[in-house]
Amino acid sequence: MTAHRLALLAAAGSFALLVGAFFFQAIGYAPCKMCLWQRWPHAVAIALGLVLILLPNRLLMLLGALAAAVTAGIGMFHVGVEQKWWEGPSDCTGGGLGNLSGADLLSTETLDRVVMCDEIAWSLLGISMPGWNALISLILCAMWLTAFRRA
């Protein structure tokens, strides 16, 4: 497989992960703050893939690897927060509710939107969503790096 195609496949992998995240959201698994953080590097990787279609460039492949590594890192950190290995952001863990007022806490609409980062919402084979994101993103990072080396 050519470097260019491998990089595009890696970008497509980020697209698939984002589609998956939006699918889970659509069926009722609201994202927490850290889940949303993990989406942004995938969006960057997708954008890099789109630019690569028109402008093949080794530097873009390296930036794609960086984007995949960043989302994998956030995913690993999120897993640690879920497992209570370390503290997460205080406004999305059991330690506090951030800037919510008393009126916000009484609002059902607000309660439906509050998702704690330190709770596992879904898992498969004992691996939570951020864990799967981290594992797959590490594979995507390796694909981007392989494409970079081949280019």
- Count of domains for the chain: 1
Q: In whole angstroms, what is the distance from residue 80 CA to residue 111 CA?
A: 24
Q: What is the CATH number of the domain that holds 30?
A: 1.20.1550
Distance CA 111, CA 109 (A): 6
On whether residue 81 sits in a domain, the answer given is: yes
pLDDT tens for each residue of 31-48: 999 999 999 999 999 999
Quick check: is 26 in a domain?
A: yes
Q: Give pLDDT tens digits for 39-96.
A: 999 999 999 999 999 998 999 999 999 999 999 999 999 999 999 999 888 888 765 5
